Amino acid sequence: MPANPSRGEIRERYLKVDTSNVADVLDDLGLPDQGLSPDFVPMPVGAGKLAGYAFTIRGQMTPFAPGGDAEKMKACAELSTSDIAVWSGDGQGVCYFGELIAIGMKERGAAGALVDGGVRDLKWIGELGFPVFARYRAPVQSIMRWKVNAWRVPVFLRGATIERVKVEPGDFILADEDGAIAIPAAKVIEVLIAAEKLTAKEVAIRDELKRGLSLAEALDRYGHV
């Protein structure tokens, strides 16, 4: 790996590894609780892989007058290339954003969104080619109901093995068919290198199996993966 790989280079390399391998590496590093709740799913189905740096946005259920959420727009205006917009805040039954906000995030160069809440306009977001993983879908807008109150702050997302996973600005988010996981910023490169090695090992095992090697023989040769 180059001495100082760019965010874009790191992101492209993460797109070539699986969340399952990243989870195994994190286990080996003593970080067993970085997996996010299985409720996080691609919306729409087939939305594509999610990889990038966490740009955190926090909100809460707050009745307010009609007219939009100025803080939400300010937060989205700060997104940049290779960012994942990470939305948190215990919204109940409402969507945090829809097609138009997704267009704005994509225009800013964001690589996708991870939403601990709801989204809408799934058909149009799918056509936009902007990968989104969220907990639920909802037609009900957030205006008058849910409001952004901070961004670029630590947030706590629903976890897989613990109740909440802390995600800091600059942590790395990876999500695919198996689910979503958060990689602490200080471990991003170390985890990537180890996951790439594990991925290469799995590719070698698949090739051997296709050539007739039995699973028992493959495990004897390569060890557990």
* 91: nearest Cα among 50, 166, 148: 148
Q: Is 202 annotated as a binding residue?
A: no
**Residues sharing a CB contact under 8 Å with residue 101, sequence separation 6 or more, in sequence order:** 72, 76
The rounded radius of gyration (Å) of the Cα atoms in the chain is 19
Identify the burial level of 52 via C-beta atoms within 10 angstroms of its C-beta, where 0-12 means exposed, 13-18 middle and 19 or more buried. Answer: buried
**Is residue 220 part of an annotated ligand binding site?**
no
d(CA 142, CA 93): 9
Residue 50 is assigned to a ligand binding site: no
- Distance of CA 92 to CAs 66, 86, 153, Å? 18, 17, 21
168 annotated ligand-binding residue:
no
Identify the DSSP state of 162.
Answer: S
Check whether 48 is labelled as a binding-site residue. Answer: no
- Is 120 a known ligand-binding residue? yes
Alpha-carbon gap, residue 122 to 100, rounded angstroms: 11
Query: Which uninterrupted H or E stretch holds 217?
Result: helix 215-222
- Pair of tokens at residue 196: 């790439």
| Pair 148, 117: CB distance under 8 Å | no
Residues 128, 105: Cα–Cα separation, whole Å: 11
> What is the Cα–Cα distance from 197 to 191, expressed in whole angstroms?
10
* Annotated binding-site members: 98-101, 120-121
* Annotated binding-site members for Mg(2+): 121
* Annotated binding-site members for substrate: 98-101, 120
